[in-house]
Every structure is written in structure tokens, then in C-alpha cells.
Structure 1
Amino acid sequence: MKNKTLKLLSILFSIMLASSCSSDDEGSEMVAELITDEDWYLESFGDFVLGDCDKQSIYNFTMNEGLVIDAYGYDGEFNCNFIGNNNLSWELLSDTEFIITEDGEDLMCIIITLTEDEFVFDVGEDSFRYVLDKNPGDG
């Protein structure tokens, strides 16, 4: 009788452990889908004041952990121009954390808000805040 009880308890514990892991996996999958679903546009970062041209900068997170940033900015005559792109990588660590790797340096990111329309995260030790949305130009 004692062996049956121990066996039953270990089976129940295994089931509970497996179901809690799958729940975490499902949450992370949902977060990854929201991040990679469509292009994000820069709304703000840090305390910088951005114009509509800067806000056309695109952040494209891909499911294969690529991140392409197409940056836009004003030239000396205040014309809006594409100023270049940056190819980075990223890795989702949990529902609330991911890493961006740039030139071999890992930048820890903390997700503050993630909805279909807004993605807010802090980058690095100084918690430099990025706000991305789905609207190019004024958000």
C-alpha cells in the first residue's frame, strides 16, 4: 500500500511539473509571436525628443532570432532619409526578459509592456527605455 501511494504521488508530481513547464512554454510562445508578428516603429527612447522622421525607424524581430533595425533621420537640411540598417540578434529568455546581441555584447532587456500595438522594454543596466508601436511617424 505504501509503495502504491508513493508511486501515485510521484506520478502526480510529474504531471504537475510537466503541466507547469508547458504553461511557461505557451506563455513564451505567445510573447515571441507578439514580438515577431509585424514590424515595430520607434516611438521614443530614453529622454530623446524624436520627430516624425525618426519615428519611421523599423524594428523587425524575426522568429529565427534576427533583429533588423532600419533607421531613419533628418539630414542637415531637415530632409527625412534612410540612414542605414543594423543587423542584430535577439533571444527570448522568459515572458519578461530577452537579450539583444550587438557586436558580441549582450544587452539584457526587460519587457515592461507588450500588447498587439505597443512594445515597451528597458535595455541594459541603466534601464534605457524603448517604446515601439505599430504606427510610422506620429504615434
Structure 2
Amino acid sequence: MPWSDEFVLGIESIDTQHRWLVEATNRLYDQIESQQPDTKVVGEILEGLVDYTMNHFILEEDLFNRLGYPESEAHKREHDSFTNQAMKLLLDFDGGEPVTEDTMEFLKAWLIHHILRVDKAYVPFLKANGVV
């Protein structure tokens, strides 16, 4: 999933985090598509994705709370849903389940939907409140 300018929100800290998430997802894809995936590396990437995503969500939610974003609760529900699914993927992997192409499609689809639809919806509000 190549990084694209259409993912850019114009809020530097969030764009930097989104780029990292896309790159980590690509590293995971490269690993599981290789002839001999290294399960240790796959596990490290998955753990990193879960940790980084949670920290990214905390940043967004902190901005929402400080600025009074009116759609904060709905956005947080999206975050919570993804966090639960990502934790399940990590626990399944730790339990011996492989990371499949279906997993990769889920991650890709979620990132695209979340950045292009859900996150883009808050940009005007944040920018109107001085966040760049």
C-alpha cells in the first residue's frame, strides 16, 4: 500500500504517524509474502503496530478532548473497535495463528477508510482551532 498525498491531512504530527502506520503495514506485508517469513520479525511488527496505533489514538483523542471536537465519541468508538481487533490479531498470532492475506486486507482497508473518511472529517475542526 504505497503512501499517497491523498492521505495527507495537513496536520504534521498526525501525518507523520499515519505514514509510519502505512510503512509498518507494508513491512508486515513484505514479511508474510516472503518465501520464509521470520515469525520473530512478524511478531515485532505486529506489536509495534498495536503499540503505535494506540499512541496515535491517544494523541487524536487528547486533541479532541482539549478542543471539544463534537464527534469525539463516535471517533473514539472507531478507535476502540480497531484496538480490539488489532489486539485479537496479536493474541491469535502469539497463539500460533499465521498472519494471512485476509489480515493484511483488513489492515489496509481499515487504514484507508480511517484516514480518508473518518480522520479527514476532523481536519476542518482542528485547523479552525489552530492545529497544524
Q: Indicate whether the TM-score tops 0.5.
A: no
If each structure's strand is expressed as a fraction of its own residues, which one has the higher value?
A: 1
If each structure's helix is expressed as a fraction of its own residues, which one has the higher value?
A: 2
With the length of structure 1 as denominator, give the TM-score of the two structures: 0.32
**Which structure ranks higher in relative contact order (CA pairs < 8 Å, sequence separation ≥ 6)?**
2
